[in-house]
Amino acid sequence: MTIRTWLFAIAGVFAGWVATLSAVMLLSDAAPGAIVFLPQDGFIANLPDDAAVVGRGSMWVAVRSDAPGLGRALYRAGGLLVLPAGLPGCLPLPVR
């Protein structure tokens, strides 16, 4: 196998992992929080009342909520990529 083949394989595994995590966030309520990458303008203002921002950076926002449907609500609020956080194997939620 060439290096190019390995790079495509690694990129494919990474893309599949991200797609799986975003689908889990959209279709289930397993995670207590989420990391939203590349939120659109006004994202925080459009969050549901039961959601709390627990961290943020220039290109991401960490949100926590106990209400069902968090992933769908975050996509509706303007999140482009929503990944689960706070579960084993997921991104950790920032502690404040």
State the SS3 of 25-93. HHHCCCCCEEEEECCCCCCHHHCCCCCEEEEECCCEEEEECCCCCHHHHHHHHCCCEEEEECCCCCECC
The model's pLDDT over 29-53, given as tens digits with 9 standing for 90+, comes to 878 899 999 999 999 999 999 999 9
- Express each pLDDT in 12-21 by its tens digit: 999 999 999 8
Enumerate the domain spans of the chain.
Answer: 3-85
Residue 2: DSSP 8-state = -
The residue written with tokens 């397993």 in the block is 30
Does 94 score more than 70 pLDDT?
no
Strand-pair partners of 53: 63
Band the pLDDT of 2: cuts 50, 70, 90.
Answer: very high
Confidence grade of residue 89 (pLDDT, cut at 50, 70, 90): low
**What share of the chain in percent tops pLDDT 70?**
91
Give CA–CA dist 40/95, Å, rounded: 24
How confident is the model at residue 93, as a pLDDT? 65
- Contact assessment for residue 84 and residue 91, using Cβ atoms and an 8 Å cutoff: yes
- The per-residue pLDDT for 28 is 86
